[in-house]
Amino acid sequence: MKFARRSAPLFMILPSLLLATLIIGYPIIDLAWTSMQEVSRFGQLRGFNGWANFADVFSDPLFYGSLLRTAIWTIAVVGGTLAISLPIALVLNDDFYGRGLARVIIMLPWAISLTMTAVVWRWALNGRAGLLNATLMDLHLIGEPIEWLASAPSAFTAEILIGILVSIPFTTTIFLGGLSALPMDAYEAAMVDGAGRWAQFRHLTLPLMRPFINIAIVLNVIYVFNSLPIIWVMTEGGPANGTDILVTYLYKLAFRFGQLGKASAISLIMFGVLLVFTIIYVVLVMRKEDDASGSEAPSS
């Protein structure tokens, strides 16, 4: 009887698990198989070549440059998004006149596709007729137009800032959900004890918001790591491959140069990187929570 009760939930979720395994597992298996094949530019498999595609990838200096920029892109965008979104969420969580309108304004970038956002910013950063140059020249801050997207450092910096801008609404929504679930009695007790705003934020808000911050980190890393539209629309990885990240490098190989086997190998590498990151991060978070709970347990 006990076995039947325990196994009932398993039988209820088994169809969903099988469906998820099929949806996720089959493309990964197919991708792994393709990555070990010689593939024509039209997608025809010409024969098994083992690890040749991976050897080509690891011998290509453009791969390592794209990998480095992918790390910079992901860390900068996710870190900047978290640093800006949490204060915004704290402000929007307070009760003030016009809070509803402020929340709508913050969410507006989320309602626009990334491609359209990138197109608008590519026009704004145009060296000859861009809005940014026109504004800066009207304010007499610059004497002549600047080609913002003509050099890799300035173009990549602009793309990172735009990536942060479009990531703020989603992250702020996560934080607002977390702030609305915080127990108010804990803050009332802290105020009675004389704790100020900073002390409340440091000792109450941050620890209580840790699960939501962890969710935001994992989801944003996965989302930003695989994000194509901003960089592709604005610079297509240029100039001279100077803004390429792994996903744009993969896109060029697959759809511009027809190297589908090599592109499949990079896709598999990207999946492995994200999988390893997620596992390590979850393990570290769980270990930290176990250590915290163990230190809070009363000693016998």
Q: What is the pLDDT of residue 123?
A: 93
Domains of the chain with bracketed CATH: 32-285 (1.10.3720.10)
10-25 tens-digit pLDDT: 566 778 778 877 888 8
Question: With 90 as the cut, is the pLDDT of residue 246 above it?
Answer: yes
Q: Is the pLDDT of residue 8 over 60?
A: no
CA distances (Å), origin 279, targets 160, 265, 283, 284:
26, 21, 6, 9
Contact 221, 277 (CB under 8 A): yes
Residue with tokens 């709970």: 293
Higher pLDDT, 149 or 286: 149
Residue 151: is its pLDDT beyond 80?
A: yes
The residue-averaged pLDDT of 137-166 equals 91
In this prediction, residue 74 carries a pLDDT of 96
- Residue 1 confidence (pLDDT): 46
CA distance 203 to 20: 40
Q: How many CA atoms lie within 13 A of 204 on its CB side?
A: 19
Average pLDDT for residues 238-245, to the nearest whole number?
91
Q: Provide φ and ψ at 180, rounded to 5°.
A: -70, -20
Q: Which single residue is written with the structure tokens 């759809």? A: 255
Beta bridge partners of 37: 48
Residue 245 token pair:
């990240």
How far is 254 from 240, CA to CA, in rounded Å?
A: 18
Task: For tokens 């050897």, name the residue.
Answer: 55
* 34-43, 51-60, 69-78: which is most confident: 69-78
Q: Write down the mean pLDDT value for the chain.
A: 85
On the question of pLDDT at 38 being above 90, the answer is no
pLDDT at 295 over 70: no
* pLDDT (tens digit per residue) in 69-94: 999 999 999 999 999 999 999 989 88
State how far the Cα of 251 lies from the Cα of 233, in Å rounded to an integer: 12
| CA–CA separation, 171 and 86 (whole Å) | 8
pLDDT tens profile 159-188: 999 999 999 999 999 999 888 888 888 777
Q: Work out the percent of the chain whose per-residue pLDDT is above 90.
A: 40
pLDDT for residue 2 is more than 50: no
Residues whose CB is less than 8 angstroms from the CB of residue 87 and which lie 6 or more positions away in sequence, other chains included: none
Q: Name the percent of the chain lying above pLDDT 70.
A: 92
How does pLDDT run across 196-226, given as a tens digit for each residue? 788 888 888 888 888 899 999 999 999 999 9
Which pLDDT value is given to residue 89? 92
Give me the pLDDT at residue 64, please.
94
**Taking residues 58-75, what's their average pLDDT?**
95
Q: Look-up: residue for tokens 């861009």?
A: 130
